[in-house]
Amino acid sequence: LRAVKDDNVRTRSAAVRVLAAKWPDQTTRELLVQCIVQGSNAETRGAACSALGKMHSEFGHILPTRDLDGIGPYLDPLKPISRKHIEKAAAQVGIRPDDIDAQVATLSAHMGWDVRVGAKKKAVKKSSSAKPVRERHN
């Protein structure tokens, strides 16, 4: 049973990566964000995070991976990413130490949450900022 569950997780993770590679548009971005904040397991959430990050940069692609290689195992994007891990990822893709904070800021803006803190449902930007209008009955 565990092998079947592991296969399902790998299949979902692969599907997320293919979707992002084939259709890197706003609709796909919104779907990836939804997978990140609502995904049932860390592996699928991490694969979605890596795919969304890849739309930003190689840094964004490798940052959510444990081994900084762009493939699983993934870090859980709902949890904070350590400064040490961020610095290792930056060094691997050639980001100078003085430029790390700026790169993290642009990646965080792209993702919709501060990647140092982790995605939280309330922290992720909604695709529509308009709130439903309530009718007033007098």
pLDDT, tens digit, for every residue of 111-124? 999 999 999 864 55
Is 131 inside a domain boundary?
Answer: no
Is 14 inside a domain boundary?
Answer: yes
Is 119 inside a domain boundary?
Answer: no
Section 69-78 average pLDDT: 94
Number of domains forming the structure of the chain: 1
Is 2 inside a domain boundary?
Answer: no
Q: List all residues 6 or more positions away from 13 whose beta carbon is below 8 Å from its beta carbon.
A: 43, 44, 46, 47, 72, 74
pTM of the full structure = 0.73
Which pLDDT value is given to residue 93? 98
Give the domain extent around 62. Answer: 9-111
Residue among 108, 102, 67 at smallest CA distance from 85 = 67
- Averaged pLDDT score across all residues of the chain: 80
Is 120 inside a domain boundary?
Answer: no
